[in-house]
Amino acid sequence: MNAPRDLNRKPTGLERIRAAFQAANRAGRAALMPYFTLGYPDAAASLEVIAAIAGAGADLIELGVPFSDPLADGPTIQRSTQAALEQGMTVRGCLELTARLRERGVSQALLLMGYANPMLAYGVELYAADAARAGADGLIIPDLPLEEAAQAQAACLANGLALVYLLSPASPPERIAAAAGATSGFLYLVSLNGVTGARSRLPEGLEGFVARARAAARTPVAVGFGISTPEQAAQVGRLADGVIVGSALIDSVSRSAQPARAAAEFVGNMLSALSPQPPGKGAGERSFVGEN
Amino acid sequence: MKVKICGITSLEDAQAAVRAGADLLGFNFYPASPRYISPQACRAIAEVLRPTGVCLVGVFVNAGVEEVRSTLAECGLHLAQLSGDEPPEVLAELGGLAFKALRPADSQALDGMLARYPARASAPAWLLDAARPGEFGGTGQSADWRLAAGLAARAPLLLAGGLKPENVAAAVRQVRPWGVDVASGVESTTGRKDFHKMVEFIQAARRADLAAEPASAPRAGKYGPYGGQFAPEVLMPALAELEEAYAAAQSDAAFQAEFERLLAEYVGRPTPLSYAARLSEALGGARIYLKREDLAHTGAHKINNALGQALLARRMGKRRIVAETGAGQHGVASATAAALLGLECVVYMGEVDIARQQPNVQRMRLLGAEVRPVQSGSRTLKDAVNEAIRDWVANVGGTYYLLGSALGPHPYPAMVRDFQSVIGREARAQILAQAGRLPDACIACVGGGSNAIGLFQAFRADPGVALVGVEAGGEGLATGRHAARFGDPRKGRPGVLHGTFTYLLQDADGQVAQTHSISAGLDYPAVGPEHAFLHDSGRAEYTSAEDGEALAAFQMLARTEGILPALESAHAVAEAVRRAPKMSRGSILLVNLSGRGDKDLDTVLGLLDRQTGGAQ
Ligand SMILES: Cc1ncc(COP(=O)(O)O)c(C=O)c1O
């Protein structure tokens, strides 16, 4: 399928993701990529929270598409996706919320993070087409390893979407090379062997893992899973091009009576921790591995 | 394979189409069509349907760009199908929103059309319909399938034109389209859809598609299109390590000898094959033989697999095993194998199952295993698998995941089948020795499918032997409260759960459905991928038995044969009870009695109490 794509001037998803990493890089820091569950605690509230995350200056946003059996998620995200499903959230509802975010002027790169089955049930090609039309820039599918991803890969390609592959500290060199070669947008490094969820300490050996991945990568590398505090974010930000924070953000939003405000504050704190000290002009450019 | 049901004119038909499994619905805005629907009426239907996730398509004939755009927006439709003589500019201006219906008379005409209408970037690229000058589709005539096949090879094609339940399989085999489109072929009268015809059509299309899957270069762990490794990245290296270790163990004579020694000296194999004389007499038809897995140590077939995998875990140097359990039989078997081999053992079990299978919970604890209650989701087997996998993910280096059925990512389905195939090997030799011939049918209950695949394996190459799997019919297929993945085409559709692509009970949004069965071991929304393949290929057939039938079979076997079967196994007995009277006295049914019923006494006594209480 090599039909000419329509020539409207919107940037493709890939371009938007690339620009987000470059902008953060120019500001001398790692890009911040918060994760939030679409439809949690309900559709309207999630829209407010995500708009607030965008308003507070997050660089990219991961939008969680709820699934009944989220294998790779810990209790916090499980509870949030379960609550969203109980509120009637669907895949189509998630795409509609994504479109609403764009209508509200959210200009950040948006990545839909969801498990394989709802996408298969929707139809892989339709899902990619509708996601792109709704304004999403890429997909992250935690239970779709490279070996099973051919169809999704083609659908993403046809719609200008990134398909982001994940790596874990257990990934051997062959898998690192394969994922680095196949991923688009960025390479998602799962910091630890385990499910999502806030942790009190960063895993040992993270530095080596990021270095190995970076050596193979042709895109920016971002680290997620377990990052909870601004201090941890700052530490990870010194190693990687992007920092992904999910459970800790959801925890703080859940605890607050003013979810949008809590989200904005959380993102603000993370951003200032990532920003070069002292902040402002004069911060040197980070050395940044070239991307394709 | 996508299926578009076209010419929807009422909400009732639309909902029936969704229930039958349609992926796309078409609404015809061409006033001359007998299936015309006004945008207002369409909008009311679309509002109800949007949450179901089906793709809604508006069908236009010679409408302008603005009309198409505004109708799509006003009705809340996803795509436009242009079925008239629209100029290419209309299509170009609509961008990704529209695809063109082509009605070429011959290949030359088609080439001309393709020059004017390039493939849409996403699927479907085009729709191909029958040529009939002066009419705009929906004529009931067949398209040229040879032309269609050429087109389908280039880009995702939606094939239309005279399709119906009787010819769609042939069309799919010849054309290999991305999807098929049907209107009149599934109607009772013009404009009225027939639910049963839609189900028939959709199943025929899907089966033909799956069967036509290229047979060349099968990947390890694929059963036709089913199986695979849909696992988080963290587990991929662990699965590779497991695959390698299992292959090495298979070709290691010492490993095999150790496994066989334990099966004989510890499990007590071979388990007998018992002729059920009084049961057969009472039913007055086929002779029924029971393969007595209930007599294996720990009381079910699960021990065969648990020992095999525990030996493998030890060989791999893993000191800790995690397992999931539903009925508790696999948990007990794992705890037993772990005790025997000196391994640490953690068993995840849903809270609902803990409550209904107490004796097994106590046994696991006495065997030194830690039973971790699972509170997430439906708190049954599916959620126990989720938690066991999460544990494995977090402890992937030193932990072995001992999966209890022929499920999960490759290599589990093959490995579990191999360890359980001792059931069929013994049974085949025993029936030949005792009855002098092979059975007419082998019957087994199907939860994840390990006892069934273990029995079937030895008979697959015997063409005269029917293979029958029995799913949990729960409170009845119509109630939705069951675990019949094959029996309920409305909810049971191929999908991904727990690392494998297989038949899965799910809603239209791809969320995994809640299941129900009187027996915890069958109460699971997916089925082993090899069964999905056996089902589609027709080599095995799958039926279901309801809770009440299983309970009645339980009692009948108890009184006629002096055997209390597990409620899971009682489902297989129920199928034999159904079949035997219709068969001649010379025929033979071989039933896998996968386990014994001690664990189910509370459940059974409670239900019987209620039954007699209700009768008084
Ligand atoms: C006695 C018995 N039979 C059958 C089953 C169903 O499992 P499978 O389909 O894997 O044989 C179970 C599961 O717990 C069981 O305990």
pTM score, whole prediction: 0.80
Average pLDDT (B453-470) is 96
Residues of B in Cβ contact (< 8 Å) with A190: 232-234
Please check the confidence at residue B578 and state whether its pLDDT lies above 90: yes
- Beta carbon of B543 within 6 Å of any ligand 1 atom: no
Of residues B501 and A3, which shows the higher confidence score?
B501
**CA proximity to B57, closest of B157, B124, B129:** B124
Q: How far is A92 from chain B (nearest CA, A)?
A: 6
Q: Looking at the CA of residue B420, tell me the nearest atom of ligand 1.
A: 11
Mutation test residue for ligand 1: of B294, B295, B301, B569, the one with most atoms within 8 Å of CB: B301
Please check the confidence at residue B126 and state whether its pLDDT lies above 60: yes
Q: At B127, which helix (H) or strand (E)?
A: strand B126-128
- Beta carbon of B276 within 6 Å of any ligand 1 atom: no
Backbone angles phi, psi at A242, to 5 degrees: -145, 150
Residue A290 lies in a domain: no
pLDDT > 70: what percent of chain A? 91
Please check the confidence at residue B245 and state whether its pLDDT lies above 60: yes
Q: Which among A73, A137, A241, A251 is annotated as catalytic? A: A73
Q: In the prediction, which pLDDT does B612 show?
A: 79
Chain A touched by B69 (CB under 8 Å): no
B122·A68 Cβ contact <8 A: no
Q: In the prediction, which pLDDT does A280 show?
A: 45
Determine the Cα–Cα distance for residues A106 and A222; give it in Å rounded to an integer: 21
CA-nearest residue for atom 1, ligand 1, is: B595
pLDDT tier for residue B218 given thresholds of 50, 70 and 90: low
**CA proximity to B511, closest of B496, B521, B500:** B496
- Beta carbon of B465 within 6 Å of any ligand 1 atom: no
pLDDT tier for residue B214 given thresholds of 50, 70 and 90: low
pLDDT tier for residue A225 given thresholds of 50, 70 and 90: very high
Q: How many CA atoms lie within 13 A of B199 on its CB side?
A: 15
Average pLDDT (B577-589) is 97
Q: Looking at the CA of residue B300, tell me the nearest atom of ligand 1.
A: 1
Q: How far is B520 from chain A (nearest CA, A)?
A: 19
| Boundaries of domain holding A157 | 26-274
B233·A171 Cβ contact <8 A: yes
Residues of A in Cβ contact (< 8 Å) with B393: 71-72, 193-195
pLDDT tier for residue B217 given thresholds of 50, 70 and 90: very low
Please check the confidence at residue A6 and state whether its pLDDT lies above 50: no
Please check the confidence at residue B168 and state whether its pLDDT lies above 60: yes
Q: In the prediction, which pLDDT does B203 show?
A: 85
pLDDT tier for residue A291 given thresholds of 50, 70 and 90: very low
Backbone angles phi, psi at B380, to 5 degrees: -130, -160
* Best mutation target, B3, B210, B233, to test chain A (most A CBs within 10 A): B233
A68·B377 Cβ contact <8 A: yes
CA-nearest residue for atom 15, ligand 1, is: B521
Q: In the prediction, which pLDDT does A290 show?
A: 39
Q: Which amino acid is at A78?
A: Q
- Beta carbon of B26 within 6 Å of any ligand 1 atom: no
Q: How many CA atoms lie within 13 A of B481 on its CB side?
A: 8
Total number of domains constituting chain A: 1
* Best mutation target, A76, A148, A156, to test chain B (most B CBs within 10 A): A148
Determine the Cα–Cα distance for residues B260 and B152; give it in Å rounded to an integer: 52
Average pLDDT (B392-405) is 95
Helices (H), A200-258: 206-216, 230-239, 247-255
A6·B96 Cβ contact <8 A: yes
Please check the confidence at residue B211 and state whether its pLDDT lies above 80: no
Average pLDDT (B218-239) is 90
Residues of B in Cβ contact (< 8 Å) with A166: 232-233
Q: In the prediction, which pLDDT does A1 show?
A: 39
User: What contacts B28, CB < 8 A, 6 or more positions away?
Assistant: B6, B7, B35, B36, B37, B59, B138
Q: In the prediction, which pLDDT does B50 show?
A: 79
Of residues A288 and A241, which shows the higher confidence score?
A241
Determine the Cα–Cα distance for residues A216 and B469; give it in Å rounded to an integer: 49
Ligand 1 center to B520 CA (angstroms)? 9
- Beta carbon of B299 within 6 Å of any ligand 1 atom: no
Residue A197 lies in a domain: yes
**CA proximity to A242, closest of A65, A111, A127, A130:** A111
Q: In the prediction, which pLDDT does B138 show?
A: 58
* Best mutation target, B230, B374, B501, B506, to test chain A (most A CBs within 10 A): B230
Residue A13 lies in a domain: no
CA-nearest residue for atom 12, ligand 1, is: B521
pLDDT digits (tens, 9 = 90+) for B367-396: 999 999 999 888 999 999 999 999 999 998
Chain A touched by B516 (CB under 8 Å): no
Please check the confidence at residue A8 and state whether its pLDDT lies above 50: no
Residues of B in Cβ contact (< 8 Å) with A126: 55, 78, 122-123
Q: In the prediction, which pLDDT does A259 show?
A: 97
Chain A touched by B1 (CB under 8 Å): no
Chain B touched by A190 (CB under 8 Å): yes
The CATH code of the domain that includes A78 is 3.20.20.70
Average pLDDT (A256-261) is 97
**CA proximity to B311, closest of B255, B269, B266:** B255
Chain A touched by B95 (CB under 8 Å): yes
pLDDT digits (tens, 9 = 90+) for A201-224: 999 999 999 999 999 999 999 999
Q: In the prediction, which pLDDT does A284 show?
A: 42
Ligand 1 center to B363 CA (angstroms)? 17
Name the burial class of residue A212, with classes exposed (0-12), middle (13-18) and buried (19+) by CB atoms within 10 angstroms of its CB: middle
CA-nearest residue for atom 5, ligand 1, is: B521
3-22 in chain A: CB under 8 A from chain B: 3-6, 8
Q: In the prediction, which pLDDT does A74 show?
A: 93
Of A118, A159, A175, the CB nearest to B122: A159
Q: Are A186 and A18 in contact (CB under 8 A)?
A: no
A137 is annotated as an active-site residue: no
* Best mutation target, A79, A168, A174, to test chain B (most B CBs within 10 A): A168
Q: How far is A49 from chain B (nearest CA, A)?
A: 23
Average pLDDT (B409-438) is 97
Average pLDDT (B19-26) is 90
pLDDT digits (tens, 9 = 90+) for B35-55: 999 999 999 999 988 777 788
**CA proximity to B44, closest of B33, B61, B56:** B56
Determine the Cα–Cα distance for residues B469 and B4; give it in Å rounded to an integer: 31
pLDDT digits (tens, 9 = 90+) for B176-199: 999 999 999 999 999 999 999 998
pLDDT tier for residue A10 given thresholds of 50, 70 and 90: low
Please check the confidence at residue B87 and state whether its pLDDT lies above 80: yes
pLDDT tier for residue B244 given thresholds of 50, 70 and 90: very high
Ligand 1 center to B291 CA (angstroms)? 14
**CA proximity to B252, closest of B203, B315, B200:** B315
Q: In the prediction, which pLDDT does B154 show?
A: 82
Sign of CA dihedral A116, A119, A121, A126: negative
Chain A touched by B76 (CB under 8 Å): no
pLDDT tier for residue B524 given thresholds of 50, 70 and 90: very high
Q: Looking at the CA of residue B404, tell me the nearest atom of ligand 1.
A: 10
- Beta carbon of B595 within 6 Å of any ligand 1 atom: yes
Q: In the prediction, which pLDDT does A283 show?
A: 41
Q: In the prediction, which pLDDT does B132 show?
A: 75
Residue A165 lies in a domain: yes
Please check the confidence at residue A5 and state whether its pLDDT lies above 50: no
Ligand 1 center to B521 CA (angstroms)? 5
pLDDT digits (tens, 9 = 90+) for B337-371: 999 999 999 999 999 999 989 999 999 999 999 99
Q: How far is A5 from chain B (nearest CA, A)?
A: 7
Pick the residue from chain B with its C-alpha nearest to A156.
B122
Chain B touched by A127 (CB under 8 Å): no
Pick the residue from chain A with its C-alpha nearest to B120.
A3
Sign of CA dihedral A20, A14, A253, A238: negative
Q: Are B595 and B291 in contact (CB under 8 A)?
A: no
Q: Which residues of B are catalytic?
A: 302, 324, 594
Q: In the prediction, which pLDDT does B543 show?
A: 98
Q: In the prediction, which pLDDT does A90 show?
A: 97
Q: How far is A58 from chain B (nearest CA, A)?
A: 26
Average pLDDT (A75-82) is 96
Give the three-class secondary structure for A38: coil
Please check the confidence at residue B14 and state whether its pLDDT lies above 90: yes
Residues in chain A: 292
CA-nearest residue for atom 6, ligand 1, is: B447
363-402 in chain B: CB under 8 A from chain A: 376-377, 382-383, 386, 389-390, 393-397
Pick the residue from chain A with its C-alpha nearest to B179.
A123
Q: In the prediction, which pLDDT does B142 show?
A: 87
Q: Which amino acid is at B186?
A: V
Of B156, B232, B508, the CB nearest to A71: B232
Residue A191 lies in a domain: yes
Q: In the prediction, which pLDDT does A58 show?
A: 98
Question: Would you give the end-to-end CA distance of chain A in angstroms?
Answer: 23
Chain B touched by A71 (CB under 8 Å): yes
Q: Are A247 and A36 in contact (CB under 8 A)?
A: no
Residue A92 lies in a domain: yes
Residue A14 lies in a domain: no
Please check the confidence at residue B160 and state whether its pLDDT lies above 80: yes
